[in-house]
């Protein structure tokens, strides 16, 4: 009973933190996409749309927590509601992959037909986006570390089967957490590309960074797909 109450408490806290991060992410996403078009920066657009995929993934994460809480103990779910979160992580990875493909295609077109970039405005918004990402990471990192510490406190002296440990993890929260980490990395790459264009006149780097960002998104999508599929179909 105590363990069940702890799991419920952790889930509720993760739900609250996820909602806060969603609000921060949506604000930064809108600013980066708008200024990305205004400044003609592919790196900033890539970062903005990448952040958009994270906003969607975080929204799915939050919805999964709500559904899991609402249908807890419902006879509709013969094996419980644990896999709802894993299913949302799987779904968000599909959207993430499609976005990565779009960004690579758009960056290639900008490389072939470059546009003038308003560097000062683009750098400012990219830095703001990075600050938002950093705040979101701090919000989620504290809870992530707390969960890890509890896991080790409860099971540090025991040996566990890796398959069972995987099923006990909150993949819904982990997916959201690593989405934000990946988004922060993309923000850093965008800032680097814009600075190189402004001060060293390496304008092509903006499009190349856009392509690199798309590739990173695809790699993240693949890793998330692989891990969630294993859970959904019970692969050891």
Please state the rounded mean pLDDT for residues 184-200.
84
Task: Give pLDDT, residue 230.
Answer: 86
Q: Residue 84: which of 71, 68, 95, 66 has the closest Cα?
A: 68
140's CB contacts (< 8 A; 6+ apart) are 17, 18, 21, 173, 176, 177, 180
Q: How many CB atoms sit inside 10 A of residue 30's CB?
A: 14
End-to-end Cα distance, the chain: 28
Task: Give pLDDT, residue 16.
Answer: 85
Q: Is the pLDDT of residue 163 over 80?
A: no
Task: Give pLDDT, residue 169.
Answer: 65
- Answer for the pair 86, 224: CB distance below 8 angstroms, yes or no: no
CATH class of residue range 2-152+162-232: mainly alpha
Q: For 129-147, how does the pLDDT look when each residue is reduced to its tens digit (9 = 90+)?
A: 889 889 988 888 755 454 4
Query: What residue segments make up the domains of the chain, in order of their start?
Result: 2-152+162-232
DSSP 81: S
pLDDT tier for residue 189 given thresholds of 50, 70 and 90 = confident
Q: Is the pLDDT of residue 151 over 70?
A: no
Q: Is the pLDDT of residue 161 over 80?
A: no
Does the pTM of the predicted model rise above 0.85?
A: no
């Amino acid at each position: 009973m105590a363990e069940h109450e702890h799991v419920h408490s952790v889930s509720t806290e993760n739900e609250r933190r996820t909602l806060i991060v969603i609000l921060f992410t949506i604000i930064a996403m809108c600013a980066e996409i708008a200024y990305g078009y205004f400044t003609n920066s592919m790196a900033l657009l890539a970062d903005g749309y990448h952040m958009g995929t994270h906003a969607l993934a975080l929204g799915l994460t939050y919805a999964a927590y709500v559904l899991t809480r609402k249908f807890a103990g419902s006879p509709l779910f013969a094996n419980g509601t644990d896999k709802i979160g894993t299913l949302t992580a799987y779904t968000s990875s599909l959207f993430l992959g499609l976005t990565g493909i779009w960004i690579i295609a758009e960056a290639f077109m900008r490389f072939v037909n470059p546009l003038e970039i308003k560097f000062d405005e683009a750098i400012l918004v990219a830095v703001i986006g990075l600050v938002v990402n950093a705040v979101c990471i701090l919000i989620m990192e504290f809870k992530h570390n707390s969960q890890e510490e509890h896991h080790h406190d409860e099971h540090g002296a025991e040996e566990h089967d890796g398959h069972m440990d995987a099923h006990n993890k909150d993949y819904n929260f982990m997916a959201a957490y690593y989405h934000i980490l990946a988004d922060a990395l993309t923000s850093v790459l965008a800032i680097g590309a814009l600075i190189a264009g402004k001060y060293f006149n390496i304008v092509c780097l903006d499009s190349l960074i856009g392509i690199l960002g798309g590739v990173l998104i695809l790699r993240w999508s693949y890793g998330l797909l692989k891990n969630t599929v294993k859970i959904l179909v019970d692969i050891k």
